[in-house]
Copies of this chain bind each other. A is one copy, B any other.
Amino acid sequence: MNVAAKLASFSEHWSPRVAGELNGQQVKLVKFKGEFVWHHHEAEDELFWVVRGRFRMDYRDRAGQETSLEVGEGEFVIVPRGTVHRPVAAEEVHVMLFEPAGTLNTGNVRDARTIDDPQRI
């Protein structure tokens, strides 16, 4: 599986593609640009690995306090279940996700960018 070639096969933002599956987890490839919706995942931890570019992960704690983390190319971040977050990308960024099969991209929120059944590539 060549990741760059698979990433070149689609252009939509915020639309994860399933590139592999193992142990009940999925490897997804996705392109971000702009600001995503605030959400959390009730029962799933999520790993974001930057293949190309960079993005900012915003976090909001229970008191409503917001913090941010810059994630650059060749770096990854793990967002634990229950953590309210949103990725924000000033420029397009290419990301690999590792998460349980069936994890919804918008977590506990439904919005225009919710993808119920991601395509396989």
Sorting the interface of chain A by its residue count into under 10, 10 to 19, 20 to 34 or 35 or more gives 20 to 34
Complexed CA–CA distance, A74 and B78 (Å):
20
Question: Within the complex, which residue of B1, B25, B76 is in contact with A76, where a contact is CB–CB below 8 Å?
Answer: B1
| Interface segment, one of A10-18, A32-40, A44-52, A109-117 | A44-52
| CB neighbours of A3 from chain B (8 A) | 74-76
Minimum CB–CB distance for A104 against chain B, Å: 15
CB of A74 within 8 A of CB of B4, answer yes
User: Which of chain A's residues 63-100 have a Cβ closer than 8 Å to chain B?
Assistant: 72, 74-78, 80, 98-100
Asked if A20 CB lies within 8 Å of chain B CBs, one says yes
| CB neighbours of A98 from chain B (8 A) | 22, 25, 27, 98
CB of B20 within 8 A of CB of A76, answer yes
Asked if A23 CB lies within 8 Å of chain B CBs, one says yes
Asked if A9 CB lies within 8 Å of chain B CBs, one says no
| CB neighbours of A100 from chain B (8 A) | 23
User: Quick one: closest B residue to A52, CB to CB?
Assistant: B74
Question: Within the complex, which residue of B72, B74, B78 is in contact with A20, where a contact is CB–CB below 8 Å?
Answer: B78
